[in-house]
Chains A and B, each alone.
Chain A
Amino acid sequence: MFDQWKQFSVAALCVAVAAVAGCGRRQAAITVAGSTAFQPFAEKLAEELMAKRPDLAITVQGGGSAVGIQSALSGAAQIGMADLVELPPEAQSLTSVVVARDGVSMVVHPSNPLSNLTTDQIRGIFNGALRNWKELGGKDAPITVVSREAGSGTRTSFEQIITGINLTRDAVVQDSNGTIRETVANDPNAVGYLTHGVVNSKVKAVTVDGKDCTTEAIMAGEYKLVRPVFFLIKGVAEGTAKEFIDYVLSAEGQEIIKKNGLIPAK
């Protein structure tokens, strides 16, 4: 059994070496990398633009907001995507453009009778000060706090907007919006937060300070858990990168963003 594994790993190594060696450089291709929350939208937009302009080549990668900033800085990607309320100091040297906005929804299990959380309650829950749904007027059951991993754009934005959060050690941590949704959907006592775009009927979105997380409320500036999605460029955008950014900011691009569940930049 172990010999087979050894053979397999050697074979895998050979394939990997061949793949790296065989990868030629594409002409005039640009890479867009970063935020996993915006990745599907960027892919959709790139697809639409490339359908119209077959001479352009745009590759979209994920990796997370931190990767987006790093790869824009290092030049590994021509455009970095980041969804943070405040860009970290190392990103100050980059040119940033807000291309969309994203709401962060607070979600609970559908069986939870609660329909609203105040900012103070959210802070209390995620700090571990409020530990039972009874304290919030719900049933007598312990609260399962579900959060994202350190470094996540969604978590960083969430904590920056709510302020004063020192995440309780009891919090269950999941590493994507999708797994947050599944965890909350599977646990009647859970509460979590995730990007507005992936909320579905398996979980119940509650209002925050009485405001629903809807495109209208966000555009009217009423809902508070909102973060911008940045495109980051080193220096001045030119060539394909500029065309892509212009397309994303055009009426058509913004309409695609809106149709797929995000909030336009303006």
Chain B
Amino acid sequence: MKFNREKTVERLLLTVAFSAIASLLLIALFIFKEGVPFILKVGPRDFLLSSDWSPQAGKFGIYPMIIASLWITLGAMLIGAPLGVAGAIFLNEFVPRSVMRIVKPTIELLAGIPSVVFGFIGVVVLAPLIRTHLGGPGLSVLAGAIVLGIMVLPTVISISTDAIGAVPNTYREGALALGATRWQAVHMVVLKAARSGIVASIILAMGRAVGETMAVIMVAGNALKIPHSPLDSVRTLTANIAMEMGQATGMHRQALFATGVVLFIVIMILNSIATAAVRRRIGGKGNKK
């Protein structure tokens, strides 16, 4: 009887687990089925490297959007990564445990704020500031990068904190015993030991930044041009899909699926790198023991 119940629960969990994987596979299959024939028909070169996007005229070049996605992601990382890692170091090394137990969940709450709210604040507060003080239309690469930089903070902080927290205390004690100051112990020993975890947090945050849609549509301006300065308005890959999906039919629709294929591949690569980085950390620790 007990044995049977075990089996039933096991099967049930197996089904549930597989339904998650199956939905991922189905999504991938669907996107590729719609998108890949289009890429082959237009030619990967024309699709990826042409900067002419006018679906009505049959021109589908997503080069400006690829560049825009890269710029905004890079900008977001330049803002989010140093802030996030610094925050994680501070929380782990310089703040009493009791305080950290309150502060860390608070930061993780940031992850629960809907992206449309971030976007709204970006449009109402950030864009006018940029326009009056730096020029340009305000809705720009810079605005997108700042908003995304803040949005990825919870990801960077929470995974980096875990990585730094996992460094054995004996490392710190050893460094301090050799006469290192607190800061020297942190940047010479702790950060080196936690490096792969921190790298993983940044790469996961990059995945989030590349995939973010709503906030970017609202603050980046969605102009179809290759940006020459951080004050230029741009359209990312995700924004292109979300904005035009409602109006798209035929070739245009397929082109948006093909944009999705490109995005899917980029995010898959980023996630694989992150997974590999985390695995190396666990492997490395095992070897030392």
Contacts and interface: CB of A to CB of B under 8 A. Distances in A.
B235 A173 contact: yes
B249 A172 contact: no
A26 interface: no
A183 interface: yes
A18 to B, nearest CB: 13
Between A150, A152, A170, A182, the greatest number of chain B beta carbons within 10 A of the residue's beta carbon is seen for: A150
B108 interface: yes
Interface string B19-55: 1100100000000000000000000000000000111
B19 A10 contact: yes
Contacts of A65: 247
A235 B64 CA distance: 43
A151 interface: yes
Contact of A172 (B19, B108, B139): B139
A187 B224 contact: no
A66 B221 contact: no
A75 to B, nearest CB: 15
A174 interface: yes
Contacts of A250: none
Interface residues of B, number: 38
A186 interface: yes
Interface string A180-191: 001100110110
A172 B222 contact: yes
A interface, how many residues as a size bin? 35 or more
B243 A170 contact: no
B200 to A, nearest CB: 12
Interface string A39-68: 000000000000000000000001111110
B222 A173 contact: yes
B20 A152 contact: no
Given A1-B108, A13-B23, A170-B223, A150 B244 contact: yes
Nearest to A67: B246
Interface stretch (B85-93, B120-128, B281-289): B120-128
B158 interface: yes
Nearest to B226: A169
A149 to B, nearest CB: 5
Contacts of B232: 170
A175 B108 contact: no
Contacts of B243: 149, 173, 175
B210 interface: no
Interface in A140-161: 144, 149-153, 156
Given A13-B23, A67-B247, A187-B138, 4 more contacts: A9-B20, A65-B247, A69-B249, A187-B128
